[in-house]
Structures are given as structure tokens and as C-alpha cells.
């Protein structure tokens, strides 16, 4: 008993540092390296207005005469453009910083939307069961039988045609978040439903029912907090997927407009110049995208290993 009272005196920070999760994190060099890389990318991206030497959204700072300068280590570079410039004369380093910020924001917001839809639907389907469950899960099956990209392309093409490209370009961020968010909710709904079905059988749920608690309270207060691990696991992977989806759509010209480039549209715009020798406009943002997605996926792998009880026990 005595050492338990000592444990209580430990600060919250020390408790977190001592937890199983932190322990396995410290013991896993891949996870640590991925985390460090991700944090560096994220900090740079979100501090873009501070770090970036130019503002790529400000037409006054762009000079077409500066277009297609190569990166600093290639012959013929200008010293003020470290990573060179793109076809419109924007500083590539600044544009990548702003673009990464946009990609991460779209990824996280889209996943938040997916999670909100998927978790609500999954909770209701799993807890209520019966016909409601059947109906919601068949909906999920139908949604899953269309590929995400196909749905997104059709939706975005139609909206673009409907609103005109100027209006579309202004609100492109929201359209992208909405379409990526809606297209992938069944992933969450299925996972959440499965955990709800498992948790629902446990006696603490029966106990809550015998105590007369209502279904909302049981779902939100008792089942949801105990279903967080799998939600956490798929969330990391889904963020990576959403970033890729955004990049693909932008690459196809259905995403962010060239005036507000994300990583995808940057790669796309550089693609036209790759044969004329200006490889850096495509390759450098491409590398950033690959590294970003890779570290998120590696982190996701680690989270899955730690939180998945089956692997944990095995």
C-alpha cells in the first residue's frame, strides 16, 4: 500500500512519463525518429508566416522574372532562393512551408469530420442494434463499395461546374475537407461498432443499465471512453490517407488552386516543367509529401502495436 501512496504524490507529468505507452515509445527508435521528424515538419509548417522568407499568397512579392531558378546547390541558382523557384517565380521553400501547412490542416480536419460521423453512427449502430444497425451498416457497405477517389472526383467536378471555378477556388479548402471527410466515415463506423459490441457485453454496461442510466449516458460516458484505443489507431492512418487523397485530388486539378498551392497542387504544377529540366518544382514537394506520410504511418504502426490488445498480449 505504501508505494501506492507515493505514486499519488508523483506529478502528472511523471505519471505520463512512467506509463506503458511512454515506456514503449522510448524503447522504439523508429517511433521516436518518426515523431521528431513529424514534429519538425509540423512546427515549420505552422510557423510558415514567421519562417518563410516570402509570402507566396501575396502577388506583390512574386516576380515572374524569377521563375524556374534551381535550388542553391545547382549551378545558376540565386542565393536568396534556397530551394529555387517555381514556374510563377515563387520561392519554393516558402511555398512548400505554406503548402504543407494546408495539407496537414486539410488532413486533420477531414479526419475530424470522418471521426465525428463515423463514431456517432458506429455508436448508435452498435448500441441500438437490430434494424437500425442493419440499415446503417448496409449504408456503410454501399459507401465503401465506391472508391473514395471516384466519389471525390465526381463530387468535386460537379461542384466546380456548378459554382464556377472562381467561387470553387475560394472555398476549395472546405469542399476538400467535406468530400474527404464524408467519403471515409465507414472506416470509423465499422471499427467503433465492433468495439461497442465487445464493450456492450461487459458487466459494467449491465451495471450501468441496472442503475437506470439512459442510453445517451451509457454510450458517451461508459462505452465511448473505453473504445478510444482503436479510434486512436485508425486516426493516425486516416490522417496519412487524407493527406494523400488531398494531394491526389489537387494533382488532378480538382483540389487547391495554383494561387493557394497545397503539396499536391505544387507537385502537379511542377509536372509540366519536369521535361524542361526544372525537376525541383515537382521532386522537392514530392519528397516532403512522402516523408510526411511515411512518418505518420510509422507512428500509426507504433500506436497500433501499443494499443491493440491482441498484439499486446500475443
Partner 1 sequence: MSNMTDQAPLLEIKGLEKKFDLDRGFLETLKLRGGKIRRETRAVHAVNGVSLDVHKGEAVCVVGESGCGKSTVARLVAGLLTPTRGEIHYEGNRIDHLGRQAMRPLRKKIQMIFQNPYASLNPRMTILQSLEEPVRHHNPGFSATEVSERVIDVMRSVGVDPAWAKRYPHEFSGGQRQRIAIARALTVDPEFIVADEPISALDVSIQAQVLNLMLEAKESRGLTYLFITHDLSVVEHFGTRVVVLYLGSICEVSDTETLFRNPKHPYTKALLSAVPQLKDDRPNHIRLKGEIPTPINLPKGCPFKSRCAFADKRCDEEQPKALQQPDGSLVACHAVEEDRMTAQV
- For partner 1, the closer of residues 105 and 208 by Cβ is 208
In 3-state terms, what secondary structure has residue 265? Answer: helix
Q: Between 166 and 203, whose beta carbon lies closer to partner 1?
A: 203
Sole window of 97-105, 201-209, 253-261, 297-305 interacting with partner 1 (rule: CB under 8 A): 201-209
User: Which of 76/214 has CB closer to partner 1?
Assistant: 214
Nearer to partner 1, 3 or 166 (CB): 3
Residues 7-36 binding partner 1 (CB under 8 A) are: 8
Query: Which whole-number Å values give the CA distances from 255 to 72, 150, 156, 265, in the listed order?
Result: 30, 14, 8, 7
What b-and-e string marks burial along 214-241, b requiring 16 or more CB atoms within 10 Å of the CB?
eeeebbeebbbeebeebbebbbbbbbbb
Task: Tell me the torsion sign for CA atoms 246, 248, 253, 254.
Answer: negative
Helix (H, G, I), strand (E, B) or coil at 91: strand
Q: Does 132 interact with partner 1 (rule: CB under 8 A)?
A: no
Residues with Cβ within 8 Å of residue 157, at least 6 apart in sequence = 254
The stretch near partner 1 (CB under 8 A) out of 54-62, 64-72, 211-219, 265-273 is 211-219
- Please tell me whether residue 207 binds partner 1 under the rule CB under 8 A: yes
Contact region with partner 1 (CB under 8 A), list: 146-154, 206-214, 261-269, 298-306: 206-214
Contacts of 226 (CB under 8 A, 6+ apart): 195, 199
In the three-class reduction of DSSP (H, G, I as helix; E, B as strand; rest coil), residue 85 is classed as strand
CB of 142 to partner 1, least distance (A): 19
Binding flag, residue 212, partner 1 (CB under 8 A): yes
Question: Residue 156: which residues within 8 A CB-CB, separation 6 or more?
Answer: 175, 176, 179, 249, 254, 255
Which of residues 101 and 222 has its CB atom nearest to partner 1 in the complex? Answer: 222
Q: Which stretch binds partner 1 (CB under 8 A): 116-124, 170-178, 216-224, 276-284?
A: 216-224
Tell me which stretch binds partner 1 (CB under 8 A): 13-21, 151-159, 205-213, 234-242.
205-213
Q: Are 123 and 283 in contact (CB under 8 A)?
A: no
- Residue 162, interface with partner 1 (CB under 8 A)? no
Q: Rounded to whole angstroms, how far apart are CA atoms 219 and 124?
A: 8
- 60 lines the binding site for partner 1 (CB under 8 A): no
Going by the DSSP 8-state scheme, the letter that residue 60 receives in this structure is G
Q: How far is the CB of 210 from partner 1 (least distance, A)?
A: 5
Q: CB 199 → partner 1: shortest distance, Å? A: 10
Structure letter (DSSP) for residue 82: T
Site size for partner 1, by CB under 8 A?
20
Report the nearest approach of partner 1 to the CB of residue 8 (Å): 7
Letters for 223-252 (x = contact with partner 1 by CB under 8 A, - = none) are --xx--------------------------
Q: How far is the CB of 202 from partner 1 (least distance, A)?
A: 5
- Given a contact cutoff of 8 angstroms between Cβ atoms, the answer to whether 176 and 106 are in contact is yes
Single out the residue of 38, 48, 207 nearest to residue 107, CA to CA: 38
CB 309 within 8 A of CB 45: no
Residue 200 in the binding site for partner 1 (CB under 8 A)? no
In Å, the largest CA–CA distance within the chain is 77
Residue 183 or residue 223: which is nearer to partner 1 going by CB? 223
CA–CA gap between residue 208 and residue 195 (Å, rounded): 18
Residues of the shown chain interacting with partner 1 in the complex, contacts defined by CB under 8 A = 4-5, 8, 202-204, 206-214, 217, 221-222, 225-226
Amino acid at each position: 500500500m505504501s508505494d501506492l501512496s507515493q505514486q499519488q504524490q508523483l506529478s502528472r507529468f511523471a505519471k505520463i512519463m512512467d506509463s506503458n505507452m511512454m515506456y514503449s515509445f522510448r524503447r522504439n527508435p523508429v517511433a521516436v525518429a518518426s515523431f521528431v521528424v513529424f514534429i519538425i515538419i509540423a512546427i515549420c509548417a505552422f510557423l510558415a508566416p514567421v519562417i518563410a522568407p516570402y509570402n507566396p499568397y501575396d502577388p506583390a512579392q512574386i516576380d515572374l522574372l524569377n521563375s524556374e531558378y534551381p535550388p542553391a546547390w545547382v549551378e545558376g541558382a540565386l542565393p536568396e532562393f534556397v530551394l529555387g523557384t517555381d514556374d510563377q517565380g515563387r520561392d519554393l521553400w516558402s511555398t512548400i512551408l505554406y503548402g504543407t501547412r494546408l495539407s496537414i490542416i486539410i488532413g486533420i480536419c477531414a479526419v475530424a469530420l470522418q471521426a465525428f460521423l463515423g463514431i456517432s453512427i458506429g455508436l448508435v449502430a452498435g448500441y441500438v442494434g437490430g434494424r437500425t444497425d442493419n440499415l446503417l451498416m448496409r449504408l456503410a457497405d454501399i459507401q465503401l463499395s465506391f472508391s473514395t477517389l471516384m466519389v471525390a472526383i465526381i463530387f468535386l467536378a460537379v461542384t466546380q461546374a456548378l459554382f464556377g471555378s472562381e467561387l470553387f477556388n475560394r472555398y476549395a479548402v472546405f469542399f476538400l475537407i467535406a468530400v474527404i471527410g464524408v467519403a471515409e466515415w465507414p472506416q470509423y463506423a465499422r471499427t467503433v461498432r465492433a468495439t461497442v459490441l465487445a464493450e456492450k457485453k461487459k458487466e459494467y454496461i449491465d451495471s450501468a443499465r441496472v442503475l437506470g442510466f439512459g442510453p445517451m449516458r451509457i454510450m458517451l460516458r461508459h462505452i465511448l471512453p473505453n473504445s478510444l484505443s482503436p479510434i486512436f489507431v485508425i486516426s493516425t492512418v486516416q490522417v496519412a490517407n487524407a493527406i494523400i487523397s488531398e494531394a491526389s485530388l489537387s494533382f488532378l486539378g480538382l483540389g487547391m488552386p495554383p494561387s493557394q498551392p497545397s503539396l499536391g497542387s505544387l507537385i502537379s504544377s511542377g509536372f509540366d516543367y519536369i521535361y524542361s529540366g526544372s525537376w525541383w518544382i515537382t521532386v522537392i514537394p514530392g519528397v516532403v509529401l512522402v516523408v510526411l506520410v511515411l512518418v505518420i504511418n510509422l507512428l500509426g504502426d507504433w500506436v497500433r502495436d501499443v494499443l491493440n490488445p491482441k498484439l499486446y498480449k500475443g
